[in-house]
């Protein structure tokens, strides 16, 4: 059995009782960063062995890990925050387990884009998840595709690239397009700023952001 276990995106209390039980009962926890996950496990007095499974080694390790699970190992997969596979490692291991007939259970739980989407005040009955934009190659092509997207869009971004992304979106989609920026979701300094793309670009030029960013943009 492979359990895909969401972990808190901010507040340590944002984890389900089922997730805590699974993390205690499995034979091993595969983590994106064992140092980050060890803090969570220590907080809840969980002593399950930790092993690394991240984007730099998943091509080499997922087949071996899937073989071990198929042979009887009970494993949990976690990322640093949120649900594995959503802009985090996870897809390749799930695919390898499915190919071997291993049962996979993904637990419901924390993910950053849902509270940011709902908090934006933009329509959320249908939405388009972009995740991280390409940093260089293919970036303009993606922006042009987003310009034609009719549903509310979700973009993950680094605080260091936020202003550049807002300016590029304003140039391609139009500076009057409505949007919101949520940062530090579920943490002490959580903040959502709403306005047009042009207004948001100016705001964050004057007040450089910190923390994890979720950008929500109105559809065409």
Q: Domain of 99: which CATH number?
A: 3.40.1010.10
- In this prediction, residue 55 carries a pLDDT of 81
| Cβ–Cβ under 8 Å, residues 122 and 216 | yes
| Cβ–Cβ under 8 Å, residues 107 and 20 | no
Quick one: pLDDT band at residue 205, thresholds 50, 70, 90?
very high
Residues whose CB falls within 8 Å of the CB of residue 72, separated by 6 or more in sequence, listed in order: none
| Structural domain total, the chain | 2
Residues whose CB falls within 8 Å of the CB of residue 149, separated by 6 or more in sequence, listed in order: 128, 219, 220
Look at 67 and 88; give whichever has higher pLDDT.
67
Shared domain check, 29 and 96? yes
What DSSP element (H or E) covers 152?
strand 152-157
| Cβ–Cβ under 8 Å, residues 76 and 93 | no
- In this prediction, residue 87 carries a pLDDT of 86
pLDDT digits 0-9 by tens, 18-71 = 999 999 999 999 999 999 999 999 999 999 999 999 888 778 889 999 999 999
Q: Which of 106, 129, 157 is the last residue of a domain?
A: 106
Shared domain check, 213 and 118? yes
Domain that holds residue 181: 113-217
Shared domain check, 206 and 188? yes
């Amino acid at each position: 059995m492979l359990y895909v276990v969401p972990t808190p995106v901010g507040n340590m209390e944002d984890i389900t009782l089922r997730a805590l039980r699974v993390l205690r009962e499995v034979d091993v926890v595969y983590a994106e960063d064992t140092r980050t996950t060890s803090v969570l496990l220590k907080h809840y007095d969980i002593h399950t062995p930790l092993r690394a499974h991240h984007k730099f080694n998943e091509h080499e390790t997922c087949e071996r890990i899937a073989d071990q699970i198929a042979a009887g190992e009970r494993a949990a997969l976690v990322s640093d925050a949120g649900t594995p596979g959503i802009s985090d490692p996870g897809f390749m291991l799930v695919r390898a387990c499915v190919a071997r007939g291993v049962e996979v259970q993904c637990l419901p739980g924390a993910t950053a884009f849902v509270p940011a989407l709902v908090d934006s005040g933009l329509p959320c009955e249908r939405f388009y998840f972009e995740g991280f934009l390409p940093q260089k190659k293919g970036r303009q092509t993606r922006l042009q595709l987003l310009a034609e997207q009719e549903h509310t869009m979700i973009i993950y971004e680094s605080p260091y690239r936020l202003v550049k992304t807002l300016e590029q979106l304003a140039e391609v989609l139009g500076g009057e397009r409505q949007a919101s920026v949520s940062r530090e979701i579920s943490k002490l300094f959580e903040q959502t700023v709403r306005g047009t793309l042009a207004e948001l670009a100016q705001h964050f030029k004057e007040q450089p952001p910190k923390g994890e960013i979720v950008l929500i943009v109105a559809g065409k």
